[in-house]
Amino acid sequence: MTIDPKALLRQMFDAAVARAMPERCVPPFLPKPPTGRTIVLGAGKAAATMAKAVEDHWSGNLTGLVVTRYGHRVPCKHVEVVEASHPVPDVAGREAAERILKMAQGLTAQDLVLCLISGGGSALLSLPAPGLTLQDKQAMNRALLKSGANIAEMNCVRKHLSAIKGGRLAAACYPAKVVTLTISDVPGDDPAVIASGPTVPDRTTFADARAILEKYGIKEPFAAIEHLRAARDETPKPGDPRLAKIETHLIAAPQESLVAAAEVAQAAGVTPVVLGDSLEGESRDVALVHAGIAGQVARHGQPGRAPCVLLSGGETTVTVRGKGRGGRNAEFLLALTVALNGHPNIYALAGDTDGVDGTEDNAGALVSPDTLTRATKRGLDAKSYLADNDGYSFFSALGDLVVTGPTLTNVNDFRAILITQ
């Protein structure tokens, strides 16, 4: 190849992120200004940049409030931006959610509520249901994050412990028109799952939430468990008249970002093979499958002939058993490193398109044919680090972390495995 494999992988990752930037994808979906007021409400890692894109292209007056993750603020003139904690909610997120719910109330049929929703919004827009505390929500979030539950399962539980998720925000806006612009970070791009669907009908039930906790053996906090058992106030369902005037537009999604990466590969003379935009499962198990396919390409030229890059998106999970550091992408790459065992012609990059892998300061990391050799020279045993869920420390010691800072968008995980010959 005439291009540096690591440089090409980084170019593909950057292209995937760029395709989902709000300044590109928000303007085409903006509705016409109403005869009444326009209120901008939103939550997620891209909420501030989405609000800025609205302001830059809006012809009428507007006010509003959005909540985003710490470090993801951008300056806005008319829409207030509040920062809060992710993935475990905090007081700032609770207070912002309470204010957002109040702003949604008392509107008329001539008013427009423009909701800006992106990944991370479920933790950021955290308003406990009556009878629950923020501490209850925090404890449940921590338990779910460690359990290995997928994002749809986690958000089902979150909806039924919330006063604002699962369509409740849209119900509060009635009779105003609600237009939601959403950037997907979930497998399948279901708006009801993205940020726990605050403005769309919810098909899940309290019974579904209880079944998820039973599946993963989650038995605390007691108040949250009792709330789910009582099942007193279901989320708004399809057909609810309060949600009759909602519009929901998916403005950016993982598949589009994979296409952008594929275009970069093709321009470099590399055959792209998209394995899927919604892959789920334990990170280390998904890594084994990817390693197997990469080996098939290297040995047999299928499903693509080298030079070839395998591209995939979605959201894997990590069942935490160790005490190490690292998100699901570092876990994936460490398991991939072990499985490839120093294959001479395979490189890889995996990263979260929001720039934060889990709770660390990296987006992801890079793997090259000499990763294991360099690790051995430094006294690093890859299998031991994997057993301790410590992918971050492993790749940090090698200088192979990918650090971007907050990208201010989020279309979930990006994985690229490059087979050079």
- Contact by Cβ (8 Å): 79, 114: no
Phi/psi for 41 (5° steps) reads: -125, 145
| Position with higher pLDDT, 150 vs 401 | 401
> Could you read off the pLDDT of 355-375 as tens digits, one per residue?
999 889 999 999 999 999 999
- Contact by Cβ (8 Å): 195, 156: no
DSSP 299-338: HH--SSPSSEEEEEEE--B----S-----HHHHHHHHHHH
For residue 240, the SS3 value is coil
Q: How many CB atoms lie within 10 A of CB 319?
A: 14
Phi/psi for 271 (5° steps) reads: -80, 120
For residue 252, the SS3 value is strand
What value does the mean pLDDT take over residues 367-384?
97
- Contact by Cβ (8 Å): 170, 242: yes
Residue 1 has pLDDT above 60, yes or no: no
Question: What was the pLDDT predicted at 363?
Answer: 97
- Contact by Cβ (8 Å): 406, 355: yes
Alpha-carbon Rg for the chain in angstroms: 22
Contacts of 209 by beta carbon, 8 Å cutoff, 6+ apart: 156, 157, 159, 160, 161, 228
Q: Work out the percent of the chain whose per-residue pLDDT is above 90.
A: 94
What value does the mean pLDDT take over residues 334-358?
96
> Could you read off the pLDDT of 203-224 as tens digits, one per residue?
999 999 999 999 999 999 999 9
> Could you read off the pLDDT of 100-152 as tens digits, one per residue?
999 999 999 999 999 999 999 999 999 999 999 999 999 999 999 889 899 89
> Could you read off the pLDDT of 159-186 as tens digits, one per residue?
999 999 999 999 999 999 999 999 999 9
Enumerate domains of the chain plus CATH numbers.
5-16+255-419 (3.40.1480.10), 21-252 (3.40.50.10180)
pTM, rounded to two decimals: 0.92
Pair of tokens at residue 414: 């990006």
Confidence band for 421, pLDDT divided at 50, 70 and 90:
confident
Contacts of 223 by beta carbon, 8 Å cutoff, 6+ apart: 131, 132, 133, 136
Q: Work out the percent of the chain whose per-residue pLDDT is above 70.
A: 100
